[in-house]
């Protein structure tokens, strides 16, 4: 199918260009398998004769909220077919790839991989998704990445390239429109719109895939999502090493006092367990959603517990061997949400 083939060639183009230039960047693993999505197949998108979505009329200016956390949800208004529509958004912040944006979580399923974020229509067949937006990192500068992508796509498409396309938050980027079969004068069944967004550490490549009959519906939704896109610097691997322990203690039947939990950090999880015979034995884990630097210069780690609790560990300003615990992601609430017993100190 066209979309599968060109999904692959874009990745090949980026990989070839990367090898040719030997540029460094955030470590990237082999691409994950195609995402699984709900197996329903009722496409609500409207019919249209135009391949690329027309620029949507601007709704009333929405409040731009800086500092939303990954997973934070809110509502906004967009214009579809000349009508206002209230959309429920979820904020995405991916420090590994280096971007943040908002997506319509009632229309798309978020599928996270080690080297990409993918937002797939809830109406698509799980075995053959047609309408989805994928974001990846590239260490190439934007111009080099766009050239590599354009050369591959132009083998079978008549492409148009706009080197000064403006996104609402990211500003100027390169947009490549692949919506006409080369030499055929007609549109393919599957369209692609590629956004190459420059960043200090390379670029981000966001590719919108959608069926020709969905260009008005999904095409415009992707446009609104991309208008919320902005880049952040890729984060280094998590550097909180060793074993930590909670300030809270437990007393065993024999009177032995030990920490409630011993704790270790990976690049994606916080592991809670206990030391047994000198070895760490995990009991459970929570997912890390953000790792970065606190204003004080120490580390800040934000995680989501299995019961939905959002919490933050942050290096204590007066003692670098202590990670203070706050049962919130919102810095303004730290004074009220500090929990001393859950704070950590380095074990040894």
The DSSP result for 50-105, as a single string, is -SSPPPPPP-SPPP--TTPPTT-EEEEEEEETTEEEEEEEEEEEETTTTEEEEEET
Query: Which has more confidence, 30 or 244?
Result: 244
Q: Is 175 left (phi over 0), alpha (psi -120 to 50) or beta?
A: beta
Query: Which has more confidence, 65 or 183?
Result: 183
Predicted confidence band of residue 232 (pLDDT cuts 50, 70, 90): confident
Q: In percent, how much of the chain has pLDDT > 90?
A: 46
**Residue 348's pLDDT is what?**
64
Tell me how far apart the alpha carbons of residues 93 and 90 are, in angstroms, rounded to a whole number. 10
**Residue 11's pLDDT is what?**
52
The Cβ of residue 29 has, within 10 Å, a number of other Cβ atoms equal to 8
| Residues 131 and 225: beta-carbon distance below 8 Å | no
Per-residue pLDDT for 56 more than 50? no
Considering only CA atoms, give the Rg of the chain: 23
64: its two tokens? 């731009």
Residue whose structure tokens are 């790839």: 97
Tell me how far apart the terminal alpha carbons of the chain are, to the nearest angstrom. Answer: 58
258 CB contacts (<8 Å, ≥6 apart)? Answer: 249, 250, 252, 274
* CA distances in angstroms from 229 to 85, 102, 208, 222, 313, listed in the order given: 20, 7, 13, 11, 27
In a 10 Å sphere around its CB, with 0-12 CB exposed, 13-18 middle and 19+ buried, how is residue 164 labelled? Answer: exposed
Tell me how far apart the alpha carbons of residues 148 and 153 are, in angstroms, rounded to a whole number. 9
Residue whose structure tokens are 């690049």: 267
- The model's pLDDT over 64-110, given as tens digits with 9 standing for 90+, comes to 444 678 888 999 998 887 889 999 999 998 888 889 999 999 999 99
**Residue 94's pLDDT is what?**
87
Per-residue pLDDT for 133 more than 80? yes
**Residue 249's pLDDT is what?**
95
Lowest mean pLDDT among 50-64, 105-119, 155-169, 311-325: 50-64
Packed helices 142-153 and 2-21: angle between N→C axes, nearest 10 degrees: 140
Predicted confidence band of residue 146 (pLDDT cuts 50, 70, 90): very high
Per-residue pLDDT for 189 more than 50? yes
Number of H helices, E strands in the chain: 4, 21
Query: Which has more confidence, 140 or 246?
Result: 246
DSSP string, 183-207: TT-S--SEEEEEEEEEETTEEEEEE
Per-residue pLDDT for 3 more than 50? no
Predicted confidence band of residue 42 (pLDDT cuts 50, 70, 90): very low
Per-residue pLDDT for 251 more than 80? yes
Query: Which has more confidence, 66 or 305?
Result: 305
| Residues 310 and 69: beta-carbon distance below 8 Å | yes
């Amino acid at each position: 199918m066209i979309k599968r083939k060109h999904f692959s060639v874009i990745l090949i183009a980026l990989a070839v260009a990367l090898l040719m230039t030997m540029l460094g960047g955030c470590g990237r693993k082999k691409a994950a398998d195609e995402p699984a999505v709900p197996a329903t197949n009722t496409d609500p998108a409207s019919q249209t004769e135009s391949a690329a979505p027309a620029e949507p009329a601007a709704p009333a200016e929405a409040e731009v909220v800086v500092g939303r956390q990954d997973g934070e949800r809110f509502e906004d208004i967009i214009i579809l077919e000349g009508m206002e529509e209230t959309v429920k958004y979820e904020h995405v912040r991916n420090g590994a790839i280096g971007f943040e944006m908002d997506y319509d979580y009632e229309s798309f399923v978020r599928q996270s991989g080690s080297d990409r974020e993918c937002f797939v229509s809830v109406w698509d067949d799980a075995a053959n998704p047609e309408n989805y937006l994928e974001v990846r990192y590239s260490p190439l500068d934007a111009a080099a990445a766009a050239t590599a992508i354009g050369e591959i796509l132009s083998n079978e498409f008549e492409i148009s390239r706009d080197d000064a396309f403006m996104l609402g938050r990211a500003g100027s980027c390169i947009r490549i429109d692949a919506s006409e079969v080369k030499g055929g004068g007609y549109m393919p069944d599957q369209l692609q719109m590629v956004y190459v967004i420059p960043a200090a550490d390379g670029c981000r490549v966001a590719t919108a895939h959608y069926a020709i009959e969905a260009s008005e519906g999904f095409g415009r939704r992707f446009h609104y999502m991309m208008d919320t896109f902005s880049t952040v610097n890729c984060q280094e691997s998590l550097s909180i090493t060793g074993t930590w322990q909670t300030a809270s203690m437990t007393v065993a039947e024999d009177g032995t006092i030990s920490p409630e939990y011993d704790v270790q950090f990976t690049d994606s999880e916080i592991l809670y367990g206990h030391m047994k015979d000198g070895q760490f034995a995990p009991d459970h884990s929570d997912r890390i959603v953000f790792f970065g630097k606190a204003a004080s210069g120490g580390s800040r780690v934000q995680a989501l517990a299995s019961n939905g609790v959002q919490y933050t560990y942050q290096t204590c300003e007066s003692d670098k061997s202590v990670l203070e615990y706050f049962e919130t992601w919102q810095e303004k609430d730290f004074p009220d949400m500090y929990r001393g017993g859950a704070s950590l100190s380095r074990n040894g």
